[in-house]
């Protein structure tokens, strides 16, 4: 069985991947997932994406910046106000 990358290795790989595929992302969260990988997300309410033991990413997207705003001073996410006539959700 493959071994899980260290947290430092995972953070480096996730950060590099996000910088390339979601430039300007404000933050991300992560946790161990399964026997050998890591789960991560940009917005707390996002779908979860995965970093595998070989540092490849299984990406399921993010609601940022289309649906969520990030307040860097508080670290809180909020649902972006929809334009008139457009429903969030």
Q: What is the pTM of this model?
A: 0.80
Cβ contact 88:67 at 8 Å: yes
> CA-based angle 73:74:76, to the nearest 5?
125
Cβ contact 50:39 at 8 Å: yes
pLDDT digits (tens, 9 = 90+) for 54-89: 999 999 988 888 888 888 899 888 888 755 554 544
Helices (H), the chain: 7-21
pLDDT digits (tens, 9 = 90+) for 25-63: 989 999 999 999 999 999 888 889 999 999 999 999 888
How many beta carbons lie within 10 A of that of residue 60, not counting itself?
Answer: 11
């Amino acid at each position: 069985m493959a071994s899980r990358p260290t947290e430092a290795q995972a953070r480096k790989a996730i950060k590099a991947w996000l910088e390339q595929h979601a430039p300007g992302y404000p933050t991300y969260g992560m946790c161990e997932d399964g026997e050998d990988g890591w789960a991560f997300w940009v917005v707390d309410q996002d779908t979860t994406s995965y970093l595998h033991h070989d540092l490849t990413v299984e990406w399921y997207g993010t609601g940022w910046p289309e649906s969520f705003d990030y307040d860097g001073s508080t670290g809180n996410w909020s649902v972006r106000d929809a334009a008139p006539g457009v429903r969030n959700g």
